[in-house]
Amino acid sequence: MAPKAPNAHKKYKRVPSTERLGLRRYREKKPHLKQAALAACFKEKYGHSVSQATVSESLSFKFKDLYDPTKRVKDDNQRNKKAHWPELEAANLIITTDLARMAATRLWNELAVYEGLPVPAFSNVWADRFNPALDL
């Protein structure tokens, strides 16, 4: 059996919107470049490679909103989703790790299934695993 290639199972990395915007702006400056050349320029500027499909998607109509000055371009890997509760988000409610721990402790004490069991410490490892789920 032949050995597997070392990069056979690369972990997928989402391309942040700020990098997609940079790619789109570069394309505006140099519209003659092919997508393969744009991918090479992207790797040189951002330090990681993207596929031709990602370049194509970044230049597509799907990401035209990146140019809208009324919308904030996030500098992270979050999807740009419509808010479910815009009033709450407009209130700038900040949920910290400590607040999440306090809420978890309160819920632990309120749930009958955990009655009589010692309350967990809700460690930093727990918080690190919990936070990405809520984008904290």
pLDDT category of residue 125 using cuts at 50, 70 and 90? confident
pLDDT exceeds 80 at position 39: yes
Residue 32 carries which DSSP code?
A: T
Q: Are residues 64 and 94 in the same domain?
A: no
Q: Kindly state whether residue 2 falls inside one of the protein's structural domains.
A: no
Q: Kindly state whether residue 40 falls inside one of the protein's structural domains.
A: yes
Cβ(100)–Cβ(130) below 8 Å: yes
Q: Kindly state whether residue 10 falls inside one of the protein's structural domains.
A: no
Write down the residue that tokens 């990681």 correspond to.
Answer: 48
Enclosing domain of residue 116: 89-134
Q: What is the pLDDT of residues 21-31, one digit of tens each?
A: 889 889 989 99
Q: Are residues 40 and 67 in the same domain?
A: yes
Q: How many Å apart are CA 97 and CA 78, to the nearest integer?
A: 19
What is the reported pLDDT for 124? Answer: 76
Angle, in degrees to the nearest 10, between helices 124-134 and 97-110: 100
Structural domains in the chain (count)? 2
